[in-house]
Amino acid sequence: MKLYVATHNEHKLREISQILPKFEIVADDPAGVVEDAPDFAGNALIKVRAIASRHRGEWCMADDSGLKVAALGGAPGVRSARYAGEPTNTPANNALLLKNLEGVADRRANFTCAVALVGPDGREHVVFGRVFGRIALAPSGAEGFGYDPLFVPDGFEKSFAELSAAEKNAISHRGRALAEARRILAGEGADGFSSMRKEASR
Ligand code: IMP
């Protein structure tokens, strides 16, 4: 089954293809949309709506995700991609994060992913995934993307960038959100409202 995905991020696309191998993933860049919602779900909806109008009668999906650091009041949050400014600069983002956590003992953080879907019937669904962990004192590993070299998931002594793709996908925010999305795509999932309520009650 075809699944249109609103992104130009090749790392996200690769992970989505790995996690949903049975789908024919077709990237459609929602170029020009302004992601100005206050939360991940809102931005995922902005992106998926931008492409859904081009693919009526088909499944469309968008992922909006980011890193929340407890000691920084949830930053970088929805600004994760642009933490050190525009355009996105991953080494600068990671360096700024380490600088802002200099001398900070509480390194707790989580990655959150909201996945928005628009079905062939035009109905919208939003599901979430989250993984808890901590920010390392220094980067390590060469896999993955973004903040992966700095994020050590709970229960591990390695960063996301030191895990294989399969290991990361099994526990990651994106892996968890897409497991929920897979149920909706298979016709087994909750409707969008009950998924939204689940998040709101956390
Ligand atoms: P988005 O494309 O607006 O959703 O921005 C997501 C940003 O959050 C990325 O540019 C990364 O900085 C960060 N991010 C999201 N998911 C991951 C991940 O799995 N690993 C590392 N960084 C991530």
Listed in sequence order, the DSSP H helices in 62-164 are: 90-100
pLDDT bin (cut points 50, 70, 90) of residue 190 is low
**Active site residues per annotation:** 64
Kindly list the distances between the CA atom of residue 15 and the CA atoms of 9, 49, 63, in Å, as whole numbers in the listed order: 10, 22, 11
pTM of the shown model:
0.93
Residue 191: predicted pLDDT: 52
Summary mean pLDDT of the chain:
93
Q: Is 198 exposed, middle or buried (0-12, 13-18, 19+ CB in 10 A)?
A: middle
| CA distance linking residue 162 with residue 182, whole number of Å | 27
Catalogue all structural domains in the chain, each as residue range(s) with its CATH number. 2-200 (3.90.950.10)
Residue 188: predicted pLDDT: 75
**Protein residues with CB under 6 Å of any ligand 1 atom:** 9, 35, 64-67, 80-81, 88, 93, 111, 144-148, 160, 172, 174
Instruction: Determine the distance separating the centroid of ligand 1 and the alpha carbon of 86, expressed in angstroms.
Output: 14
Residue 33: predicted pLDDT: 94
pLDDT tens for each residue of 122-174: 999 999 999 999 999 999 999 999 999 999 999 999 999 999 999 999 999 99
Amino acid identity of residue 114, one-letter, is: A
